[in-house]
Chain A
Amino acid sequence: MINAEAFQAALSLLGNTPAAWLVVPPGLLIGLFFGSIPGLSISIAMAVFLPATLYMDFLPAILFLTAIFTGGGFGGAIPAIMLNIPGTSSSVATAFDGYPMARRGEHAQALGIGLVASVLGTLIGYLLLLFTVQSISQWVLRLGPTEMLVVAIWGVTLIAVLNDASISKGIAAGILGILISTIGYSDAGQMRGTFGSMYLLDGIPVIPALIGFFAASELFNLVGKRYIVDDSSLRVVRFRNILCGMGQAASKPFQLLRGGSMGAVIGAIPGVGASIANLAAYATAKQRSKDPDSFGKGNPSGLIAAESANSSSEGGSMITLLALGLPGGAGTAVLLGAFAMHNVTGGPRFIRENPDIVYALIIGNMAQAVLLLVIGVGFIFLAGYIVKLSLQLMIPIVMVLSVVGSYAITGNMVGPITVVATGIIGWLMRRYGFPVAATVVGLLVGGMAEGELVRSMQISGGNLGFITDRPITLVLLALLLISVLPRLIGSLLKRRRATS
């Protein structure tokens, strides 16, 4: 479980490295700032500040970057709650209930709930990492292409089926995302859907597409409104309400633990990460709830599940980074770059030879989570004033930020054009009742699904019976069916009742 000797060495290492603590508060603030601005992302923040770690020792460098990661994880929840614009792809499900709460004037509570769920989620993720870092590294290696394929399908199916729109609309929206993700050069070298444009050879850029589907399409809908919260008496940010929300989240330890555990486990799967963890935990919370219809309308439990899961997935993704040297997503890819800058290679050998550093990283990140609680309260107190801003001013500002931010990501006009195109498609989808979130999830996991499908076919030779020899695949398939069937049956019965 835990190597006590290495654990003690880690504590003394952290105690003797004051620089490791000095870099954490600025890292958290940078993460909070970047995460809270739609168009900027955690990976942009980490990439921009990566060169700053060149002259730091390995431990402070990684703790600085993980502080940005941790701060950004919660920072993304702020625009998701206040504007229905997930600051990061891992905050998609946060908006489902956070934004309706803000529309009701409960933005301060929602932010308080999000902060505590994030802090405790991060702690849960790193606690699990602390106890399991050695054994999980061996288990993750057993996940082959068929298992990964089922995980990807699960991610899309869950969000496509478990939404307020009809199942057909959810499926069509999910497929749209998957098909968009296949545009550009395939792994096999085929050019698809590029219309001869060299700018599309790398495919549709995901982050600008995400900004368009979520941010632009929502902003188009808000044109003409004066404030996010119509009632002026509700446009007040009270410290007491933030604390009330924090207490509300802390009073639901089981929900926090469930979301946190799911996030950590899903986050450990390479390529899946916080985006799916956020959605899967939300879907599970909705399914287990006694009042599933209130989800999507401002149920705090949905917010707790989503935020605890996306934050704990950071700990999970660190498992694959430390144990296998594999980045689970963009953030951990930058961390891997920092490893390389300091001539460190992640993997089983790294864990075996440097257990004190591994434990120091884990303990340092747990301390960061506690610090986030303090810094985050002050930050959301300021960020909470977003609802006081006039939409007349805010819509153009956010739009320009999104366009400039998307240009910064792609380095050419493909980013801004993607924002406009996906914004218009997203607006049409919203208008006709298609769940935009399903498209985004399809977009995020489509590439992985195709790669794993091709690999599964190559390994099995096209024989479907192959999966009967893969017990983990069968278990995952069973879990997929169990999670989807009740909604399918319920929907069919509802339709039949409505027509009779």
Chain B
Amino acid sequence: MATSSRRHGFPLGSVLFSLSLAAVFGYYAHGVHAAARGVTDWLLILPAAGIGITALLTIVGTKVIDWYRQRDAVAKEDPSTLPAVLFMGLLALYVALIPVIGFDLGSLLFLCLALYLQGERRWWVIVGFGVVVSATIVLLFIELLGIRLPTLLL
């Protein structure tokens, strides 16, 4: 992976992720405690969330201190996250559309778009791969394993 001689940036992503997790832990523990009818309802959750929040705040503190100490050091370039983020978006879209277009058409579109996203440009490879794989998987689950899948075409 290419590196460049740039200074250590503030670890914003890491700090934000840790703080978000801590906030979720706190929100969840508060909700459980507020609705609790007795100790047994929060016996595990409250102490666990407390330990988790402490650990996460420690991580944030350590990250900030480490950044402050090494802010003049040369940092490595992070690999691009764009392909991963696009793929996540595509997967989320696929799952969101399944109730509407079914597993057969949904899987076909997902497979074709995923292949395109990864650089394949030959249309007959994209369509052939999508049709063969989606039909095989959906029919395997429906016919061989007897699982009822919502479908539109098959």
Contacts and interface: CB of A to CB of B under 8 A. Distances in A.
Q: Do A and B come from one complex?
A: yes
Interface of A: 48, 166, 168-169, 171-172, 175-176, 178-179, 182, 186, 188, 190-193, 216, 219-221, 223-224, 392-393, 395-397, 399-401, 403-404, 407-408, 413, 416-417, 419-420, 423-424, 427-428, 431-433, 446, 449-450, 453-454, 457-458, 462, 499
A395 B146 CA distance: 25
A175 B48 contact: yes
9 contacts: A172-B52, A172-B56, A175-B49, A175-B55, A188-B37, A223-B117, A400-B133, A432-B13, A432-B14
A432 B99 CA distance: 33
Contacts of B14: 432-433
- A-B pairs, 6 with minimum CB distance: A175-B52, A396-B114, A172-B55, A171-B55, A450-B44, A220-B84
B83 A223 contact: yes
Contacts, number: 161
Contacts of A169: 55, 59
Nearest to A181: B44
A495 to B, nearest CB: 8
Nearest to B130: A396
B147 A420 contact: no
A438 B87 CA distance: 25
Contacts of B17: 428, 432
B84 to A, nearest CB: 4
Contact of B115 (A171, A219, A396, A453): A396
A188 B25 contact: no
Contact of A404 (B18, B21, B58, B107): B107
Which one of A188, A400, A420, A446 has the greatest number of beta carbons of chain B within 10 Å?
A400
Given A168-B62, A176-B52, A431 B129 contact: no
A450 B119 contact: no
B74 interface: no
Which one of B17, B38, B48, B86 has the greatest number of beta carbons of chain A within 10 Å?
B48
B58 A168 contact: yes
A30 B92 CA distance: 31
Given A220-B84, A224-B118, A427-B84, A179 B111 contact: no
A407 B56 CA distance: 33
Given A171-B51, A432-B17, 4 more contacts: A175-B52, A175-B55, A408-B149, A450-B45
Contacts of A399: 91, 110, 114
B88 A424 contact: yes
Contact of A408 (B44, B59, B88, B141): B141
Nearest to B56: A172
Interface string B88-103: 1001101100110001
Contacts of A458: 40
A453 B52 contact: no
B88 A404 contact: no
B126 to A, nearest CB: 11
Nearest to A195: B31
Interface residues of B, number: 61
B48 A179 contact: yes
B32 interface: yes
Contacts of A446: 44
Given A179-B49, A395-B118, A400 B110 contact: yes
Which one of B13, B118, B120 has the greatest number of beta carbons of chain A within 10 Å?
B118
Contacts of A401: 137
Contacts of B21: 172, 176
A168 B57 CA distance: 9
B88 A423 contact: yes
A453 B145 CA distance: 39
A51 to B, nearest CB: 10
B133 A179 contact: no
Nearest to A415: B95
Contact of B44 (A182, A190, A403): A182
A186 B41 contact: yes
Given A172-B59, A392-B120, A404-B103, A192 B32 contact: yes
B147 A408 contact: yes
Which one of A172, A178, A193, A419 has the greatest number of beta carbons of chain B within 10 Å?
A172
Contacts of A450: 43-45
Interface in B21-43: 21, 25, 28, 31-32, 35-41, 43
Contacts of A220: 84, 87-88
Contacts of B117: 223
A453 B55 contact: no
Contacts of B44: 178, 182, 446, 449-450, 453-454
B138 interface: yes
Contacts of B55: 168-169, 171-172, 175
Given A192-B32, A392-B118, A420-B92, A168 B98 contact: no
Contacts of B81: 431
A392 B115 contact: yes
Interface string B127-151: 0010001100110010001110100
Given A188-B40, A432-B13, A432-B17, A223 B98 contact: no
Contacts of A431: 13, 81
B146 to A, nearest CB: 8
A81 to B, nearest CB: 23
Nearest to B113: A396
Contacts of B13: 431-432
A112 to B, nearest CB: 29
Nearest to A450: B44
Contact of B133 (A48, A216, A396, A457): A396
Contacts of A419: 95
